[in-house]
Structure 1
Amino acid sequence: MKFKLSLKYLLLSIFIFLIEVLIATELKNVFFIRAYLGDVIVVLLLYTLVKSFVKVSNDRKLILGILAFSFVIEFAQYFNIAEKLGFKPGSLMYIVIGNSFSWIDILCYAVGCLFLYVLVQIKPPKN
């Protein structure tokens, strides 16, 4: 693993993060977007965030790692990990970690990772 700043991925991460904030704050009443699309997009955010700072030689392994990480966080929610770590409801970390387990979230993370996998398989034409 080699650390290397990628401005392209950093800017993309910021853009995706702003979309997530928009979903959480302004589109919270649009059920499909808030409940599902946000969870699909969050794996894209994790992918671009890692690629912002680390030179990744195997995108497939990174995507599998993100999927595993997402599953671990979701299953930790089953055990109320945010509360056990002492985060108060409504605090930033409580919101980031989450507070309720959902099999639908697991499915959304898998869909997001599948989308990422397909996306990285598409190679731009060489000039």
Structure 2
Amino acid sequence: MKRKFLFIFMGSLIVVFGIGFYAEGAFWRGFLGDVMIVVLLFSFFNMIVIQPAWRGAIAALILSFVVETFQYFHLVDFLGIENKFIRIVIGTHFDWLDILAYTLGFLICLVIGGEYKASIIQEVK
């Protein structure tokens, strides 16, 4: 099971870096990148510790929402952070579409983790 999440993590990492280095436009960098960050976090959490998979999905969603909240309150400016890498990781701009992207990423994580399929099977029985 953890091997599955390792492959998802590596694939997500490649996609996130590809978007970061080569993609242009609000959809690719702003929306799809945020969706993929949630998948990346989810796969990382489930690769190292969290079981069942839905817990990793919730952890990734909560972390994403926390970071977006930091952006809303301009935490990097408040703390006077000048390091470019940290500013990129935490972010400097709040956007409601990011919340939508994180939620979509969360739903994708549930499907990847098999949680969505499992709930449908239980409803059918």
TM bin (shorter chain): 0.7 to 0.9
The separation in 2 between residues aligned to 1:44 and 1:87, in whole angstroms, is: 27
Does the residue aligned with 1:122 lie in a helix, a strand or coil?
helix
The equivalences for 1:19-98 within 5 A come to 19-27=15-23, 29-57=24-52, 59-88=53-82, 91-98=84-91
TM-score (norm 1): 0.78
Percent sequence identity is 31
The separation in 2 between residues aligned to 1:8 and 1:117, in whole angstroms, is: 14
**Larger mean Cα displacement after TM superposition, 13-22 or 59-68:** 59-68
Q: Which residue of 1 aligns with 2:99?
A: 106
CA contact (8 A) 2:46 2:56 kept: no
Gaps of 5+ in 2: 119-125
Dislocated runs of 4+, deviation >3 Å? none
Q: Could you list the per-position Cα deviations for residues 36-63 of structure 1 after superposition, in whole angstroms to 9, with x for gaps in the alignment?
A: 1111111000001111211413x22332
CA gap of 1:30–1:75, structure 2 versus 1, over 3 A, is: same
RMSD of aligned Cα (Å): 2.1
1:13 corresponds to 2:6: no
TM-score (norm 2): 0.79
CA contact (8 A) 2:50 2:56 kept: no
Gaps of 5+ in 1: 1-5
The separation in 1 between residues aligned to 2:56 and 2:14, in whole angstroms, is: 23
